[in-house]
Every structure is written in C-alpha cells, then in structure tokens.
Amino acid sequence: MSELKDVTVIREANVYFDGAVTSRTILCGSGSKKTLGIAQPGEYTFNTAAPELMEILAGELEVSIAGGAWTSVKGGEAFEVPANSSFTMKVTTVVDYCCSFLD
C-alpha cells in the first residue's frame, strides 16, 4: 500500500541518533499507529514496547532481532519485532521505512 487514508500526522519529528534516524507519527482512523521515517547509513539499536512490523520501502540494511542472527532486508521486504524486545539495524544505504505498531 503506497497511500495511507484517513490519517492524522503529528507535525513534530521523532529524531534519534543525532538526526541520523528520523520519523513522523501517523495516527490512522482505525486507531492504529505508524511511523514513516528515514535512516541514514550506520548502526542503530531500538527497544520495543509493543510488537512492530518494519516495512522497508527503499534501501538496504541488516537486522538482528534481540541479539539473534543478522538478516539482510531490502526495499519491498519487512521484518517483525516482538514486544518488550530490541533490534539493531546496520543500514548500508539510506532506508525509507514504515513502522506499524501491532498492539
């Protein structure tokens, strides 16, 4: 899906790692929450409270979920992260992503 309908966008950016990863929060009419973001090349670790679906729209990275094996992910692919966990991304080219909070 390349278009989100019936949404509210939170104007203020979520800025991580001195601006190397940024996103905007999207609140959907259905009650779900997403973020749309960009990650610059580098290595970043995030903690999760709710389960997440990370859809990679463009770019390439490797991901390790909760310290597990590294998996390559590129534009058009996705990965899920359980609640109360973490994931580390090694971004190799600029990544455009959509993160859906599954709770």
Q: Does residue 68 or residue 29 have the better pLDDT?
A: 68
Q: CB 48: neighbour CB atoms within 10 A?
A: 19
pLDDT tens by residue, 38-81 = 999 999 999 999 999 999 999 999 999 999 999 999 999 999 99
Domains within the chain, CATH numbers bracketed: 7-101 (2.60.120.10)
pTM: 0.92
Listed in sequence order, the residues at least 6 apart from 85 whose beta carbon sits closer than 8 Å to its beta carbon are 47, 48, 65, 66
d(CA 40, CA 59): 10
Query: Which of 72-82 are b and which e, b meaning 16 or more Cβ less than 10 Å from the residue's Cβ?
Result: ebeeeeebebe
Model pLDDT, residue 103: 78
pLDDT tens by residue, 7-27 = 899 999 999 999 999 999 999
